[in-house]
Structure 1
């Protein structure tokens, strides 16, 4: 298939998966597939996502966890999509503390604050409650996700964004990890600082009312797809605020009440 072109027979799961990985590898954006394939729905998008996970594993990446996207009302309103998504995290997406935004590999990165879980026990749906989900958590961290999208101007529908691994890019976890029993996560606050100015704030309640609700949602959604959340996995529970742009030369910090601060510079 030529770069950025539509197969003669139209798009399908295999061709969309290949095109999305090509866009990622080539740092190339495109219009959403639903412009040409309106039948691309959420479940078809997840099938594409799962196919590309296998391709990532086949090329040597390691599965390290899952992420939720669009769990906050702020993000849903901005994107025009009104329910959360679950996607995969691999070790290739880890951004070590102190490293800049990988501008050379991302198309149009934005940064959002996250409450991050490291799992102690296996969590398998369906029917998982927030209390059951939190009982499986080993530790809680402050973090940030550097989201990206293979779609021009972050324009997409549900099928597009689920296929695109919920706009995955990179992620970093902060310096402080605490047991979940030490925190009131609904009240855990974050201040978002860009170039020395506080531009946004939120609490954990912005994430589905409580980050544990997002974790339960992930477990139940993955069960529908035949998966569970495994011990040791990292779970990004979703952006607490709207994402901020991260151009070269920028400086972004996420200051949590109890979970420390996460600093990311925009690089060059």
Structure 2
């Protein structure tokens, strides 16, 4: 375990990098003994700075590293999680300024769950997730890394709030109890051209519901609930897509709907 002073130093560095659009050398290259537990402690400290200094409010959580390809890239066999705040929301009617808000952005299509009841693990099942979900919507997560050139290991991305930047929720909603989320198809377009396709089974080899189950039970070990009204981003079903100013992307999800994000 890293000493408390080192955890706070890394959190301070990440907060400064976030606010000033700067990149850091990987934490894992400077503290080779850093554990995933250390990384979550850094992430928690980073979140507290955003709450205390900037008045941000937690409105949900995101799940990352859900696909086998990304897990293999990072050399891990588990997902990770980060926090969503009200300052990270992008509306469908606006464009996201990459030049003033981001460093090295990539976008991914996802299914977002909006909860109507709390979910408190351990012991949460897929049926529990379905009962607790109000609706699902198509979503874009625009990820960003404060770690230079995306040279990340799992500890680097966990510490950096799971590399989260911003997210956009579509206006079309669906009842997940009327869908088979393991077979729903996703099509992502960049500037009108199809760049990737995926299916629900890409999420932990099963379904986006499995990702929410994992999150509820993982957080439950620490006494942290998924709360009614929160947005839960269930993880990407397609590869990350680098984006630049002037680009626009759309995601269409069978049985759920479509949304578009624009970058300036």
CA-CA distance at 1:135 after TM superposition: 1.6
- Indicate if the aligned counterparts of 1:144 and 1:172 stay in contact, CA closer than 8 A: yes
Aligned partner of 1:108 among 104, 110, 133: 104
SS of the equivalent of 1:117 reads strand
Aligned to 2:10: 16
Question: What TM-score do you get using the length of structure 1 for normalisation?
Answer: 0.92
Question: What TM-score do you get using the length of structure 2 for normalisation?
Answer: 0.93
Aligned partner of 1:41 among 35, 51, 60: 35
Task: Map 1:157-168 to 2 at 5 A.
Answer: 157-168=153-164
Distance 1:81 1:243 in 2: 18
The ranges of structure 1 where at least 4 consecutive aligned residues each deviate by more than 3 angstroms after the TM superposition are 77-82
What runs of 5+ residues in structure 2 fail to find an aligned partner? none
Aligned to 1:236: 233
Matched, 1:249 2:246: yes
Residues 83-122 of structure 1: per-residue CA shift (max 9 Å, x gap) = 2101100000001113223311100111000110001111
Residues 57-97 of structure 1: per-residue CA shift (max 9 Å, x gap) = 21211110000011122333445544210110000000111
Aligned partner of 1:52 among 46, 52, 57: 46
**How many positions carry a matched residue from both structures?**
259
CA-CA distance at 1:169 after TM superposition: 0.2
Distance 2:92 2:161 in 1: 23
Matched, 1:192 2:185: no
Distance 2:250 2:47 in 1: 30
What runs of 5+ residues in structure 1 fail to find an aligned partner? 1-8
Aligned to 1:217: 214
Aligned partner of 2:175 among 174, 179, 197: 179
SS of the equivalent of 2:95 reads coil
Distance 2:151 2:226 in 1: 29
**Is the helix fraction higher in 1 or 2?**
2
CA-CA distance at 1:23 after TM superposition: 0.4
RMSD: 1.6
SS of the equivalent of 1:220 reads helix
Distance 1:55 1:143 in 2: 27
CA-CA distance at 1:150 after TM superposition: 0.4
- Indicate if the aligned counterparts of 1:219 and 1:228 stay in contact, CA closer than 8 A: yes
SS of the equivalent of 2:163 reads coil
Matched, 1:65 2:70: no
- Indicate if the aligned counterparts of 1:98 and 1:263 stay in contact, CA closer than 8 A: no
SS of the equivalent of 1:227 reads coil
Aligned to 1:86: 81
Aligned partner of 1:138 among 134, 144, 160: 134
SS of the equivalent of 1:202 reads strand
Aligned to 1:261: 258
